[in-house]
Copies of this chain bind each other. A is one copy, B any other.
Amino acid sequence: MICNSISLSEIKEIIEKCPVAELIKIIEEGFVLYTQKKVTVPPVGHLSFKQPPGDVHIKYGYIENDDYYVIKIASGFYNNASLGLSSSNGMMLLFNQKNGEPLSILFDEGYLTDLRTGIAGAIAAKYLAPAKINAVGIVGTGIQARLQLHFLKTITDCRSVVVWGRNNDKSELFKKDIFLKDFEIAIASDIKFLAQRCNLIITTTASKSVLLFADDILPGTHITAIGADATGKQEIDPLLFAKADLVAADSIEQCIDHGDISYAVRNKILNPSKITELGEIIINKNLQRNNENQITIADLTGVAIQDIQVAKYVYISHLKVRNSVN
Contacts and interface: CB of A to CB of B under 8 A. Distances in A.
Counting contact residues on chain A (CB < 8 A from B), the size range is: 35 or more
A283 B102 CA distance: 39
Contact of A1 (B52, B83, B107): B107
A7 interface: yes
Interface string A1-45: 101010110000000000000000000000000000000101001
A100 B89 CA distance: 6
Interface in A54-99: 54, 56, 58, 60-62, 65, 69, 71, 73, 75-77, 80, 83, 85, 88-91, 93, 95, 97-99
Given A54-B100, A107-B1, A47 B61 contact: yes
A5 B107 CA distance: 12
A97 B93 CA distance: 20
Of listed A65, A71, A77, A100, residue having the most chain B CB within 10 A: A100
Contact of A98 (B62, B77, B95): B77
Contacts of A60: 45, 47, 58
Contact of A100 (B8, B76, B101): B76
